[in-house]
Every structure is written in C-alpha cells, then in structure tokens.
Structure 1
Amino acid sequence: MSAAATPVEDGASLLARARRRLAGDRPARAGMAILALLALACLLGPFLTGHPYDRLHYDYPATRPSLSLYPRPDAVRPALDRLALRMRVRAEDVAVTPEAVRLTLVADKPVDPRVLTFFARSDTFGEARILGRAEDGRRLTVEAPLRRLRFLAGTDTLGRDLLTRTLVAGRLSLALGLLATAVALGIGVAYGALAGTLGGRIDAAMMRLVDILYSLPFVFFVIMLVVFFGRSVALIFVAVGAVEWLDMARIVRAEAQAIRRRDYVRAAEALGLSTAAILRRHVVPNLLGPVVAFAALMVPRVILLESFLSFLGLGVQEPATSWGVLIADGARSLESAPWMLVVPAGFLVSTLLALTLLGERLRVALDVRA
C-alpha cells in the first residue's frame, strides 16, 4: 500500500491555508512586491528628490523630464537678461563656466549692491559676490554660482517638481483608498451578510434602506457635509465610505443568499447553531474570495472618486495634492506637457494592476473549495 506525499491542510485555519498558498504563488508575490515598492517610494521618496513638493521654480515652468542637470548652457544668458531687467541694469561681458557665471552689471546711475539679492532669490543662480567696482559705481563685476537642479520627471506649469508631488500625492491617495475601502468592507460585509442570512422581511427592510441611500445625490451629500463641517481630508473619508459600502452590501447579500441555501448551512440550522455562529463559521469564510477581489478593485475606484471631488473643489485643496488632482491637471496640459499626465497616471495604473493581480490570487487562496 502506497500513498502520495501531499500536504495536509484540513487541520489548518482558512487564513493559515491562504498564507501557505500565497507563499508559493509567484503572481501574488509580484503584486505584493509592486505595492510594497510603491508604498516605500511614496513614504521615503520625497525626502530623497531634493525638492520640496510645494516649491515653485519660476525659471523652470513645464520643464521636460531629463537626467541631465539644469540650467543648460543655452538657458543661462536668457535667465541673466530676465534678472538684469528686474534689477534695472544691463548684463555685459558674460562668461559662463559649468559651475558659475561672471558678468558686469552696467547702469546709467551707480549700481546699488543690494540688487544682488535678486541672484539668491532666483532658481538659476546662487548668492553673488562682488569682484570689482568702477569708481563712478556704474559698473559692477560680480560672480554667481549656478544652482544645479535635476528634474527626473519634469515640472508642472508652476515649476514644481512633478516626481516629488507625485510621490507625496501617493501618500494621500493610497491612504484614502485603503482606509475608505476598509471602512466600506467592514460595513458592507456585515450588513450584506446579515441581510442575506436572515432573509424575509428583515432582508427586505435592510435592502430598502440601501435603495434609499442609493437615491440620494452624492454630490449634494458632499456639499452638505462641507457646509456643516468644512473642507478636510477626513471629510473625504466620510463621504467615500458612506457611498462605497452600498455596492459591497449588495454583492455580499447576493452571495450570502446563495450560501444560505447550501446543505451544510441547513444542517447547521438543524443542529441549532445561532445566526451569529452560522455567519462566523459558514457564510463569511465562503464570502472572502469574491469580497477580496472586489475590494482590490475598489481602491482605484476610491482614488478616482476623490479626484472627481477635488475637481469640483470639494476634495483636496492646494498645496496638498493627490494622484487624481495631478491626473486632472495633466489632462488639461496634455498637448503642451504630456509628462504631467503620464507620470501620475503611470503610478495609478501600476497600483491598479498590482491590486487586481493580488486580488485575483487572494480570491483563489481564500476559496474554501480549493
């Protein structure tokens, strides 16, 4: 008598079996790795880019992505001319090196040395120092270092570093997506499972309440919240959570009704198990597969819903930002600055693909029939 050596999972809990299945599932590990890298980049990346997310670089509006350092040699002289115009002087004898620029400031009247503060305020030059001065004071020879900046993902129309803003926006978008999904998951699963299991008049009454909430205009509901509580990120969590759990409740209720007609549930009822015990032992474990798959797709839905609210002026406000806000701004500048749409959309699409892949593998791993 011989038997094949197979792992025995009958004595393990559902979560323990799911962990073992996911440990050997390459697509699931790939999805988790992508999500972990995105979360780590959004958490630590803004400290490594070298640019504050709200810093306006007036000399670099809508700058293309590049690995090279700015300013480029052909852009130094135009920047000097703009600076000289603001200082009401003329720039002559300009000599540009890779690290600094040397020039002579000429004016019809004596040049006030205090105008050199314009160099330190610019994005192209550093603090200037005086090398020589004419006796009449109308010629001032100065040298100013060049600020070497790098914009890996370019800048937006206001000159803000797009990579830094995308990473900072990812913090809010991911937090909003995950927390709002968790709230919708908790309320929707409990409400839908209870309605589907109890059935009858209780089920009908509970689902009529869901239909009533569905009929309320979402935008009007958000406007009322803003009027009473003011604009805040917490308001977005409340507004999104109050809407998204309705879809979850309907899906869970339909699955719970199908599970309620199974033989093992009827046997549990015949043995005298309480409704809470049936929900805990039979209904909820069999719901985890489709619920997890739907929850994985809910995260990008929540992110897009937040972008809609921000577009209407009811969501995230400047200088804070999110992926939805950046994508909306990039869509308006698609012809002149396509990278403003490509960069945040790339992060959002990567998150969507990773969540979809992970959600599908979690559905398989949590399937009690597997």
Structure 2
Amino acid sequence: MTTAATPPAGAFARLRRDPAAVSSLAVLLLVALACLVGPLLTGHAYDRIYYDYPRTPPSWRAYPEPGTLGPALDRLALRMRVRAEDVSVTPEAVRLTLAADRPVDERVLGFLARSDLFGPARVLARSPDGRRLSVEAPVRRLRFLLGTDALGRDLLTRTLVAGRVSLALGLLATAVALGLGVAYGAVAGTLGGAVDAAMMRVVDILYALPFVFFVIMLVVFFGRHLGLIFLAVGAVEWLDMARIVRGEAMAIRRRDYVLAAEALGAGTPAILRRHVVPNALGPVIAFAALLVPRVILLESFLSFLGLGVQEPMTSWGVLIADGARAIESSAWMLAVPAAFLVVTLVALNLFGDRLRDALDPREA
C-alpha cells in the first residue's frame, strides 16, 4: 500500500537554493545566537542598576567622561560629610584629600566603592589629628554600546535578554498551537459528519471571545507572570491551525490510498497516524513558520499594554513601551528594541513565505 509523498522531495533543496530564504534564516540564527550568548559577553547583568548612568546615550567610549568626575566627587563628599580637596584625576585613578572639622572615619570610603564611578579606595596618608585623609581610588570604566534606560540598566543586555523571552514564547506557543491544532483538525476532518460539525462549532465559539478581555480576566484571577501569557497565547493561536488541518484532512480522506486503507480494515487512529497527519505536514510547517512572528508580535502588544512580562524580567514589548514613554528625551530606548523586533519579524515572515513556496506541490 502506497501513500502520497510527504513534503515534496525537492522542497528543501529548492529552499537551500533560494537566496532570500538562506539570508533570512542566517539573520534568524544570528539573532538567536546573540540573544543566547550575548548577555554573557556584555559585562552587565540585565537587572543591574547603575545609579550614576540613567539614560546614558549610546557610545563606543568608556564612561565616565573626564569632566564628570569632579562633580561626582563633590556629591560623594557631601554624602560623606567631608570636603574633597587637592583632587587629581588620571584615566586610571583619582587622588584626593578628604578633610573635615573632626577626625575622618575610614568607613566613609565605602561610599566610593559603592559608586558606579570608582572602585575600593585605599588610604595613602593620614594627618596626626585625623582630620585629613589622603586616598586613592581606581576609576571604574564601563561601556554602554547601546546606552542605558531610565534606571541606568544596560540597554544592550536587556534587549538581548528580552529577545530570549520573546523568541522562547513565540516558539513554545507555536509548538502548542501545532500540537493542539493538528490533532484537533485532523480528527475533525477525518471523522466528518456530526462530530466535525460539533468540533468546529467549539472553534467558532472560541473565535468569538475577545482576546484582550480574555487576557484581562486571566490577569485578574491569576496575576501577572510569564506562564500566564504563554497560556493565553497558546489558547487562541491553535484555532487557525485546526481549521487549516481540517481542510487538508477532508481532502486527504477522499484520496485513493486512504480508501484502500479503509477497505483493508485500517482503523481511524491508524489512518490518522499513517496517512492524514504526514500528508498534511506541508502547509502545517509553512503556517507554523508564519505563526512564530504573529505570537511574538502579540506578546509585544500585550506587554506594551502592561499585561505581559513584568519587571525585572523583560521582553521586546516591555522595552518598546518604556522607550515610547521616553522617546522625546531618549530616542535610543525605543530604537534599539524596535530594531531587533522589526529585523526578527521581517526575517521570520520572509522565511515562512519562502518555506510555503518550497513546500507547494505545484512547485515540485
């Protein structure tokens, strides 16, 4: 007994010869690799707040800039209740004398170590009465290639970590939609009749539910967390997959090899497993590739509304929402995550289109 071919034999060969498909796949792999490995190489934790660098613009130069050290020392001296005198600044370290009207407690040097500008200070000399303390502290050099956000967190690190969340959510929700949609649609299309009608009416009812209202109700009852977003998106996105697979299954069950299997006594589970599902994989794979960007965009929309990922975790939607509020004074806060999101969505859509064309039987 023969079956129809699964995806055309030359589909993936045509895909490899398509420059647009290869380029889009390369971009996706680079973005995924950057999001996976990049946060380990930036030198910053995604939730580390640098209080001295809020809304720092992107730069290839290392901070702090020379002109900012003097005012920063004056502010620290005020907090230490001393006076900063004889300040000498070099690119590697700063030397100064801490003076006060009473003996200076060396424990105040902890203010320098806790600063984002300086490292732990060491005492060079101390006056006999203890009112003057000569100290040296190394200058802490930091780079923010894509700037910082309103709290002083490195935007490059947060964008890459946000990419992990958005891409993982897109892939996991697509996998759920693939599993539920294929199983549900294949059963409905193969059985047909009253069973098919009842199953598809359930799909129609779920289609009629307002998605945002559904998410709000979940947030009200269960709170805000990442698993909730995954549940909300996965509960909706499988509906289109079910309809597509149902249509393919209704066409496949009329094929000669399926009729021959029924004549030989094959049961419905065997027909589903051996004939219907394998021969419906072409359009299913293509639709799954196009579903990933839809899920990412949907998560970004929910996070933009404040219904998605919550601090300190982040996603591209959260970063775009933050950047939109600060676009007049800190445009890079919007441009950086938006650029990553746009590049990823364009590459995913382009690859999905090319994959759909490659799996089209008419192209075989």
Shorter chain as denominator, the TM-score bin is 0.7 to 0.9
Cα deviations by residue, 1:47-92 (Å, 9 ceiling, x for unpaired): 1111111110001001111111010111111211221121122222
Alignment of 1:54-73 (within 5 A): 54-73=47-66
Partners in 1 of 2:347 and 2:301 — Cα distance?
23
Question: Are 1:188 and 1:246, in contact at CA under 8 Å, matched by a contact in 2?
Answer: yes
Counterpart contact for 1:289–1:362, Cα < 8 Å: no
1:18 aligned residue: 11
Out of 265, 269, 284, the residue aligned to residue 254 of structure 2 is 265
Q: CA deviation at 1:139?
A: 2.2
Offset from partner CA, 1:216-273 (integer Å, 9 cap, x none): 343444455456655442222222110111122234445555x36xxx9354465454
- 1:339 is aligned to 332
Distance 1:126 1:15, change over 3 A: farther
Distance 1:173 1:163 in 2: 15
The aligned amino acid for 2:150 is T
Distance 1:34 1:55 in 2: 29
| 1:265 and 1:282 in contact (8 A); partners too | no
- Number of equivalences: 357
Alpha-carbon separation, structure 1, partners of 2:5 and 2:216: 49
2: CA distance between counterparts of 1:303 and 1:24?
Answer: 28
| Contact 1:46–1:53, Cα closer than 8 Å, also in 2 | yes
1:129 pairs with 2:122: yes
Give matches, 1:96-111, under 5 Å.
Answer: 96-111=89-104
Partner of 1:3: none
1:133 and 1:313 map into 2 onto residues whose CA distance is: 55
Give the match for residue 213 of structure 1. Answer: 206
1:75–1:15 distance in 2 versus 1, CA, 3 Å: farther
Q: Does 1:201 align with 2:190?
A: no
Match of 1:243 in 2: 236
Structure 1's consecutive aligned runs of 4 or more residues displaced over 6 angstroms after TM superposition are none
Letter in 2 for 1:175: A
**Once superposed, what is the RMSD of the aligned Cα atoms?**
2.7
Q: Indicate the percent of aligned positions where both proteins have the same amino acid.
A: 74
The superposition leaves residues 161-189 of structure 1 with CA deviations (integer Å, 9 ceiling, x where unpaired) of: 11111111111111110110111122223
CA shift for structure 1 position 111: 1.8
| Secondary structure at the counterpart of residue 51 of structure 1 | coil
Aligned to 2:43: 50
Letter in structure 1 aligned against 2:313: A
Distance 2:152 2:60 in 1: 17
Q: Does 1:158 align with 2:147?
A: no
Matched residue SS, 1:131 = strand
1:356 is aligned to 2:352: no
* Equivalent position of 1:8 in the other structure: none
Q: TM-score, normalised by structure 1?
A: 0.86
**Matched residue SS, 2:87:** strand
Structure 1 stretch displaced more, 21-30 or 324-333:
21-30
1:107 Cα deviation from its structure 2 partner: 2.1
Distance 2:233 2:78 in 1: 51
Q: How has the CA–CA distance of structure 1 residues 23 and 44 changed in structure 2, closer, same or farther, with 3 Å as cutoff?
A: same
- Quick one: distance in 1 between partners of 2:352 and 2:278? 16
Further displaced range: 170-179 or 297-306: 297-306
Q: Could you tell me whether the CA contact under 8 Å between 2:181 and 2:239 is conserved in 1?
A: yes
CA shift, 1:313, in A, is: 4.7
Answer with 245-254 or 91-100: which moved more.
245-254
Q: Identify if the C-alpha distance between structure 1 residues 13 and 253 changes in structure 2 by more than 3 Å, giving closer, same or farther.
A: closer
Aligned residue in 1 for 2:32? 39
Q: 1:81 aligns with which of 74, 79, 82?
A: 74
Inter-partner Cα distance in structure 1 for 2:8 and 2:67: 62
SS of 1:47 mapped into structure 2: helix
CA distance in 2, matches of 1:110, 1:269: 95
SS at match of 1:68: coil
Partner of 1:291: 284
- Partner of 1:170 in structure 2? 163
Aligned to 1:302: 295
Match of 1:186 in 2: 179
| Cα distance in 2 for residues equivalent to 1:47 and 1:187 | 36
* Preserved CA contact (<8 Å) 1:286 1:368: no
Q: Which residue of 2 aligns with 1:6?
A: none
Identify the match of residue 23 of structure 2 among 30, 55, 68: 30
The amino acid of 1:124's aligned partner reads L
Match of 1:147 in 2: 140
2:186/2:246 contact within 8 Å kept: yes
Normalising to structure 2: TM-score of the pair? 0.88
